[in-house]
Amino acid sequence: MLCGLQSKHVLEPLNLALSSVEIAVLQDAAVRLRAYVDGAEQIMARARANPAPDSEAAHLLAQPQTPPEIEHAELRFSSALEHLRTLANALVPGNAPLLFAPFTLMRTALEGAGYAAWAWEPGLSASQRAERGRRLRWKNLDEVVKATGDAERKARRDGLGVGGLDAAVEVLGTLLPEVDHGRRLGERLYRQLSGRGHAMPWTAVAAGAGRVVAKDEHSEARFLKPDLSQLIGALEPTLKVVQMAVDRFGELAGLGQTDWWIARPPPPTW
């Protein structure tokens, strides 16, 4: 892509042809990502429908109203899969520019799967699990209050006896704690995806002074192509969090020794 950095710092992307190698990389990623998302969706639907009778998930799902530690977390996870499926479509060569939007899709998927994995963390007591559910509900009501000022929902929010959610960057840092360039991987990944999605100038690394194609006292134009290594590289840890949510729900559902659960496909790696 060609981006003009003008006096008002406005980016104006123009399409450039991808190389044959880049096309092959994107086609491979699109196919493998779509297959993984389809598989994750099917395995989660089967797990929800077939929890072990004495499992924590079976108990929670048997309640007259599905509690938020299941319902709200499932909604976030479903959103994560939808964003990844849209990302797979965008990765098909020629379908979409790849400078900013794919990173937004990936960040949203990462955050949604992260909160689901957080809600389904193994080893929590019933009261700890319920508290996480109330915090998910608190967050939902808080967003409604912010949008509408609704007094009834504000009272319901305040009556839950909990605060809101930990910041996504903290949740993801805990889920992916390995150190990468001086920071926890989950934290660094989330900040990089957010920077790309919000088109922060620090994320748009130019090709070098020798690639300036136009310049005057008010503006400078450089060749900026999609950073496919960063785009594809960010997929692997993102899918690791998605798989973590799947695995944790399976544990919640008591499926660890079930043959079909053991045979579930792993996320692709690059």
Average pLDDT per block of 10 residues along the chain, 270 residues long: 43 63 92 97 97 97 97 98 97 83 95 98 97 97 96 96 95 97 95 87 53 56 69 95 98 95 92
Measure the CA–CA gap between 70 and 130, rounded to whole angstroms: 10
CB atoms within 10 A of CB 205: 11
Measure the CA–CA gap between 174 and 176, rounded to whole angstroms: 6
Structure tokens at 77: 């996870």
Structure tokens at 215: 């310049």
Task: Say whether pTM exceeds 0.75.
Answer: yes
Structure tokens at 47: 């797990």
HSE (CB half, 13 Å, CA atoms) of 184?
Answer: 13
Residues 6+ apart with CB under 8 A from 52: 58, 253, 254, 255, 258
Predicted pLDDT of residue 9: 41
Residues 6+ apart with CB under 8 A from 92: 26, 27, 30
Tell me, what amino acid is at 59?
H
For residue 222, the cross-strand partners are 3, 212
Do the Cβ atoms of 84 and 212 come closer than 8 Å? no
Q: Characterize 69-102 residue by residue with b for buried, 16 or more Cβ atoms within 10 angstroms of its Cβ, and e for exposed.
A: bbbbbbbbbebbbbbbbbbbebbeeeeeebbbbb
Structure tokens at 134: 């109330």
Tell me, what amino acid is at 111?
E
What are the φ and ψ backbone dihedral angles of 184, each rounded to 5 degrees? -60, 140
**Coil/strand/helix, residue 65:** coil
Predicted pLDDT of residue 197: 85
HEC sequence for 195-244 = HHHCCCHHHCCCCCHHHEEEECCCCEEEECCCCHHHHHHHHHHHHHHHHH
Structure tokens at 189: 């990944």
CA R_g for the chain: 21
Structure tokens at 101: 């939007």
Q: Which residue has the tokens 């109330």?
A: 134
